[in-house]
Amino acid sequence: MTKKFKYTPILHLIFWSMYMFSPIIFLRGKMEMDEIMLLRHITSTIGLIFIFYLNHFFVVKKYLTKSGMKYFGIINVCAIILCSCMNLFIRDTTQYTLEANKMERVLEEQGAMGYNIKLDPKKKEAIILKKCEKRKDMTPRYLFFNVFTCVCIIGVSVALHSVENLYISEEKRKEEQRARTEAELKNLKSQLNPHFLFNTLNNIYALIAISQEKSQEAVMDLSKMLRYVLYESEAKELPINKEINFIENYVKLMKLRLSNKVEVKIHTDVTQNPNINIAPLLFITFIENAFKHGVSTQGKSFINFSIVTTSPTTIECRLENSYFPKSEEHDKSGSGIGMENLKRRLELIYPDRHNFSYGVEENVYKSLLTINCQSHV
């Protein structure tokens, strides 16, 4: 399933808390923020929170489309008008009381300092009303700022929705890519298993004519190898030692029918990191290819194969063998599947983390594979 883009509620809380306390933080020492300004800021913030989450959870998701843009505009205009009216209503119903309380506090402070100031109730009311009217004169500017901040917060909600869609689309693309890669790897492995079995059975078939006893032993070895191929190799990665044991058993099986003219050397050294993991059945292609093209029934031939860890995260597989290419007419081992299969598997499993080269030099077939097994997070 595609992961949904999750916002941390704590981040939302931090953002709105910073916005709520921003006047106190940024206006400290520059101007005094009285109760009326604070109340106006709080009601304005509540309105912005309402508009933001109205868009975030409903309007943007449902109506931010070509066909729904009209409803998107209507709902947001109504929301801005509603918030503006609410702010004006709260201001008009509370500012007289707040101004009166502010004046009483000023008079008390003056009295405490020794100034005995007494105001006629009518004069006091006139002063309060004058201050209220002065604040009302600032209504157009206040409304403009309120509408501007509402539009900005709608823009933030739209931008956040776009980022969320991009994130979900990218996660979906990655998930689809992973699914395609896994499907292709399974398909490649399904090609490899019968290819390996076909080559091995070919050798056992030839061995039966030479020695029935050896052929029976070979069948037992084959059963162990098939257990590894069919069951254990289903894992994405296995310890390198299991892969080496499989290779050694395969070589042992193949050597049963070879003459003394063929020299086979296997060298393994994983002391740098004996616990390193590797994708299963990567190296069998090398050995199959060597026995297929590197062995001659007429002259001397050789196969030199090595697997070593050159660092705690790097595996090097090197193969050199004599080269006796078979024609398509005489090749019955599924020619062409192995090396192309290996190249594609390496591209899928270890992209940008492997080097693979092979070719013929002076009638010697050489191949070298280096893999960085360190997982990328």
pLDDT score recorded for residue 181: 64
Whether 209 and 305 share a structural domain: yes
Let me know: does 115 contact 108? Beta carbons within 8 Å.
no
E strands present in the chain: 238-239, 262-269, 277-278, 301-311, 314-322, 354-361, 364-372
pLDDT score recorded for residue 307: 93
Consecutive sets of 10 residues in the chain, 377 residues long: mean pLDDT of each? 59 84 65 64 87 90 86 91 83 66 60 57 64 63 83 90 84 73 58 60 69 72 77 82 88 78 90 88 83 81 92 92 71 58 85 90 90 70
Residue pointed to by tokens 């009311």:
125
| Enclosing domain of residue 197 | 179-372
Whether 72 and 215 share a structural domain: no
Q: Is residue 303 part of a domain?
A: yes
Whether 191 and 262 share a structural domain: yes
pLDDT score recorded for residue 2: 47
Q: What is the CATH number of the domain that holds 251?
A: 3.30.565.10
Beta bridge partners of 302: 263
Split into its structural domains, the chain has a count of 2
Whether 132 and 184 share a structural domain: no
Q: Is residue 145 part of a domain?
A: no
pLDDT score recorded for residue 135: 61
Let me know: does 149 contact 44? Beta carbons within 8 Å.
yes
Whether 116 and 236 share a structural domain: no
Provide the residue type at 222 as one letter.
L
Whether 81 and 131 share a structural domain: yes
Tokens representing residue 239 in the block: 């310890």
- First-to-last alpha carbon distance for the chain, in angstroms, is 20
Give the other-Cβ count within 10 Å of 98's Cβ: 19
Whether 261 and 361 share a structural domain: yes
24's CB contacts (< 8 A; 6+ apart) are 33
Whether 353 and 243 share a structural domain: yes
Whether 225 and 99 share a structural domain: no
Whether 240 and 113 share a structural domain: no
pLDDT score recorded for residue 226: 76
Q: Is residue 208 part of a domain?
A: yes
Q: Is residue 168 part of a domain?
A: no
pLDDT score recorded for residue 286: 84
Q: Would the pTM of this model clear 0.85, i.e. be above it?
A: no
pLDDT score recorded for residue 33: 55
Q: Is residue 377 part of a domain?
A: no
Query: For the chain, percent helix, then strand, then coil, each to nearest 5?
Result: 65, 15, 25
